A and B are shown apart, each in its own frame.
Chain A
Amino acid sequence: MHIPDGFINLSTSAGFGAAAAGGVWYSIRRAARVLDDRRVPLAGLVAAFVFAAQMINFPVAAGTSGHLIGGVLAAVLVGPWLGSLVLTVVLVVQGIFFADGGLSALGLNVFNMAIAATLGGYLIYRGLVALLPKRRPTTAAAAGVAGGLSVLLAAFSFVLEYALGGEGGAALGTVAAAMGGVHALIGIGEGLITALVVGTVLATRPDLVEAAPKAEVMAHG
């Protein structure tokens, strides 16, 4: 899911980079309102956890693997604004220290994973939570479904970038179909991991789940 240098032309990369920077700046402003001494170490831990989890590529089809994005996971655990910043930190560390994700593509990758998948996926989560009973299993399931769909959001965000400034010669429809197909499979893995982790934290420390429905925190806290 990490775009290398050269895939998308520089003007498109710069445009999405500007949009990503705007999203990150807005997230900083919003996170600054709620960030206190209690939340700083937890948000740092979530970033470290997302980095670790992204290293685990699981097989999804013959010769193809996928790994967690973790955007919805982070957003549910520490809130959407800190969540998008968590993903941004992970992507910056991966790009600078591990040569994973091109430096000229950093804005594209932040846009796809920290903004589209994290904030977009979080919106889906909130929509599902509003519709479902406010209980632990349904909350974990809502996080899982939103996590799975967030992978498709990131995949189609890439397709949009490819449509606007792709350097490769493949037809847009072919790329869109291929990206959608493989990321639907990866989304299943993302959904299972997200539901498992959110469910585990809800069962042990529900007060640490920032975006848990309030009834649930009351019932277990």
Chain B
Amino acid sequence: MDINHYLILSALLFTIGTVGVILKRNVISVLLCIEIMLNAANLSFMAFSRYLGQVHGQVMVFFVMVVAAAEAAVGLAIAIVLYRNRGTLSVDDADTMKW
């Protein structure tokens, strides 16, 4: 298969994730969309790793996965605190910090 297929798929996934982050109001959905974006990037890394015959890309993927795990832990913790304090999971209700 051509590398372009992988890259197009990666770009599609990244776009879907980005649009989701901007449009979704539920915190859990936003976190899921971020996960999609990260994995889209991972797909690109893997494709290039195979294409160039190097392991650098795969090393980066591990880093991204570690960061994603940490981000998920912190993000879900924030979601729980938000629900406890506001009784909602909508990101639009967490708008106290503004001008």
A and B form one complex:
no
